[in-house]
């Protein structure tokens, strides 16, 4: 049969007469060899017919008879029945949907400790851990499909792949802790330099080295910036000329704080840089953060929503909040938790019961004209560094200063890592003469100061004294406008002036004596607690402030005749340990 004859047959099929219904079973030849006739309406080119001299086993084509090819053993009979030939069936296996299904199924999928679905991908030979619901992961899937098919798939294809990945991650029962920028296990630091070449720093008591392979997972956020390759011949003291700090003890404390920021296993004190406008608070805070956790964001602002603050804390290894003046109570409480270690849970969506729990233990930097809070628990965790206003003749262009700092950063970072390795070795032999509230932090800065050395003006004793001065300064700032605590200290100092170094009485007696003293000085005083119960409640808040100002306060157990308060003047012998 020639092509012209075939054309006539096809032309005849366009105007079929009313035929008698065929009773031929289209599946009767399943498993037998047959030649497929071209499907009606098909745009595919017809195959060349066999020579006329060869017998054709296929029955004559009628308008009512199936023209679909017989199924081949192992093929999907329903695919054949729907008009898809074997070649089309193979092609269907390489569409974007199937491609993404295969790709996603081969990824390492897991849950973070917070319960967030995560995926590990490889980009430029660097493993990256991404939130599955993030835009970055969606962009990665799109990139994968476009590179393979040279066309952009529908949005639904990407969304379906994301949904599949989330489901596989949730039911993998595989929870893995992710670290942001750094991880310290008590003996060894792993620092993610966040570089495109994939380098990390591994540091322990024997020294530090660069590596491209580590045994834990890090997460990189879009705002994170890379750290330079550290210089092993550097010196951390190159940092000091960039700081607008006059007090020698404060220089010791800030230098030690930067290195202690790498110790993620301990609570680290909040570093509060405060001073008048023009004291370069923001610039210096940016430098200090940039040595450990550089970021494109710079200083952040705290609004009143706790869930927003929790997100900011979670995404920064060293959170930096700039130009704060006051904070709501809930924000103060969350900062306190984030410093000493704790968690914050929030619903992923308001329409379901999924809860994401963030865990924190962060070295936080805050700047402001004054310390922006007076909560005593938070004051116990704050070291206050006062900066003086820079005179006009000493001012420099910020761009010039930052350029010099960036040039020195590899040497400063390398020097800091050298000191850290030595401090890890020294730590077991370091002892504290006095244990403040942040005792672990005090121990580490003592070891760091010892490693920097007395020849450079650093020692464990100086580091501990610097920490005490900075905390006392914070307390003094917090009570400057607090009439109640100022009146109470004046009342106790007046009793000491009469020769009393210890005063004991019931809550009611102490409340009455305090009220009489204050009213004798100021008849219009409006800060006296109205009841003994309220007086007792307020006193608990000020126990640390009283201690800083030389008085110890002890509450007795409840007794039938009332609860007793004992105020004792602090001496070297009764200083709490």
User: pLDDT per residue over 318-346, tens digit each?
Assistant: 999 999 988 888 899 899 999 998 878 77
The answer to whether position 576 is within a domain reads no
Per-residue model confidence as pLDDT tens digits over 23-63: 444 444 444 444 444 444 444 444 454 444 444 444 444 44
- Are β-strands 182-184 and 189-192 bridged in parallel, bridged antiparallel, or unpaired? antiparallel
The answer to whether the beta carbons of residues 228 and 442 sit under 8 Å apart is: no
Asked whether residue 315 falls in the same domain as residue 439, the answer is: yes
Task: Quote the percentage of the chain above a pLDDT of 70.
Answer: 80
Number of domains comprising the chain:
4
**pTM of the full predicted structure?**
0.75
In this structure, the answer to whether residues 454 and 564 fall within a common structural domain is no
User: Quick one: pLDDT at residue 263?
Assistant: 97
Q: Are residues 335 and 467 in the same domain?
A: yes
Which residues are CB-contacts of 124 (< 8 A; sequence separation ≥ 6)? 196
Q: Name residues of the chain where pLDDT drops below 50.
A: 1-3, 6, 9-10, 13-17, 19-47, 49-85, 89, 92, 351, 572-577
Q: Which pLDDT does position 42 carry in this prediction?
A: 44
Q: Are residues 253 and 127 in the same domain?
A: no
Specify whether the CB–CB gap between 416 and 291 falls below 8 A: yes
- Residue 123: what pLDDT? 87
Tell me: do 421 and 295 sit in the same domain. yes
pLDDT at position 249, please? 96
Determine the straight-line distance between the first and last CA of the chain, rounded to whole angstroms. 108
> 146: Cβ–Cβ under 8 A, 6 or more apart, which residues?
152
Q: Which domain holds residue 252?
A: 236-477
The answer to whether position 26 is within a domain reads yes
Radius of gyration of the chain (CA): 37
pLDDT given for residue 211 in this prediction: 96
114 and 1 within one domain: no
Question: What are 393-418's pLDDT values in tens digits?
Answer: 888 999 999 999 999 999 999 999 99
* Domain match, 60 and 110 both: no
pLDDT value of residue 5: 54
Do 439 and 345 have their domain in common? yes
Same-domain pairing of 404 and 342: yes
* Whether residue 431 is found in the same domain as residue 329: yes
Report the pLDDT value the prediction gives residue 12, as an integer from 0 to 100: 52
Q: In whole angstroms, give the CA distance from residue 202 to residue 186.
A: 13
User: What per-residue confidence (pLDDT) applies to 38?
Assistant: 44
Residue of 485, 257, 477 whose CA lies nearest to 379: 477
């Amino acid at each position: 049969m020639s092509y012209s004859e075939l054309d006539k047959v096809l032309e005849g099929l366009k105007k079929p007469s009313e035929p008698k219904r065929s009773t031929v079973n289209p599946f009767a030849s399943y498993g037998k060899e047959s030649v497929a006739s071209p499907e009606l309406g098909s745009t595919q080119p017809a195959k060349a017919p066999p020579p006329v001299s060869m017998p054709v086993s296929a029955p004559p084509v009628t308008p009512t008879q199936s023209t679909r090819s017989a199924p081949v053993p192992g093929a999907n009979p329903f695919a054949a029945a729907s008009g898809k030939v074997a070649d089309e069936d193979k092609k269907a296996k390489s569409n974007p949907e199937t491609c993404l299904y295969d790709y996603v199924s081969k990824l390492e999928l897991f849950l973070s400790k917070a319960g967030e679905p995560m995926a590990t991908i490889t980009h430029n030979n660097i493993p990256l851990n991404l939130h599955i619901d993030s835009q970055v992961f969606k962009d990665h899937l799109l990139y994968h499909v476009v590179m393979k098919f040279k066309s952009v798939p529908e949005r639904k294809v990407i969304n379906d792949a994301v949904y599949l990945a989330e489901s596989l991650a949730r039911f993998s029962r595989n929870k893995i802790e992710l670290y942001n920028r750094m991880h310290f296990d008590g003996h060894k630091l792993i620092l993610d330099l966040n570089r495109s070449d994939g380098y990390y720093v591994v540091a322990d008591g024997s020294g530090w080295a660069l590596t491209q392979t580590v045994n834990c997972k890090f997460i990189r956020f879009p705002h994170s910036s890379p750290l330079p390759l550290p210089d092993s011949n550097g010196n951390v003291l190159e940092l000091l000329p960039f700081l607008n700090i006059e007090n020698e003890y404060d220089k010791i404390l800030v230098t030690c704080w930067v290195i202690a920021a790498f110790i993620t296993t301990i609570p680290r004190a909040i570093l509060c840089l405060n001073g008048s406008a023009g004291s370069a608070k923001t610039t210096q805070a940016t430098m200090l953060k940039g040595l450990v956790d550089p970021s494109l964001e710079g200083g952040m602002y705290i609004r009143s929503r706790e869930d927003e603050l929790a997100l900011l804390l979670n995404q920064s290894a060293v959170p930096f909040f700039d130009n704060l003046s006051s904070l709501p109570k809930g924000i103060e409480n969350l900062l306190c938790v984030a410093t000493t270690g704790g968690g914050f849970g929030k619903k992923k969506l308001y329409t379901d019961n999924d809860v994401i729990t963030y865990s924190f233990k962060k070295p936080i930097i805050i700047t402001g004209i004054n310390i922006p809070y007076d909560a005593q628990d938070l004051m116990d965790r704050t070291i206050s560094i006062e900066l003086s206003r820079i005179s006009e003749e000493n001012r420099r262009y910020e761009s010039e200063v930052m350029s010099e700092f960036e040039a020195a950063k590899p040497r400063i970072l390398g020097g800091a890592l050298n000191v850290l390795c030595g401090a890890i070795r020294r730590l077991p032999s370091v002892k504290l003469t006095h244990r403040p509230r942040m005792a672990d932090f005090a121990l580490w800065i003592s070891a760091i100061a010892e490693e920097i050395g007395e020849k450079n003006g650093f020692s464990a004793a100086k580091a501990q004294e610097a920490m005490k001065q900075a905390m006392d300064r914070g307390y003094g700032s917090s009570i400057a406008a607090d009439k109640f605590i100022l009146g109470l200290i004046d009342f106790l100092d007046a009793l000491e002036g009469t020769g009393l170094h210890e005063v004991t009485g019931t809550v009611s007696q102490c409340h009455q004596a305090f009220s009489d003293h204050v009213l004798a000085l100021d008849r219009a005083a409006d800060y006296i607690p109205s009841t003994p119960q309220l007086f007792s409640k307020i006193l608990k808040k000020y126990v640390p402030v009283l201690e800083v100002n030389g008085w110890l306060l002890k509450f007795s157990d409840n007794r039938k005749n009332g609860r007793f308060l004992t105020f004792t003047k602090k001496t070297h012998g009764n200083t709490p340990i």
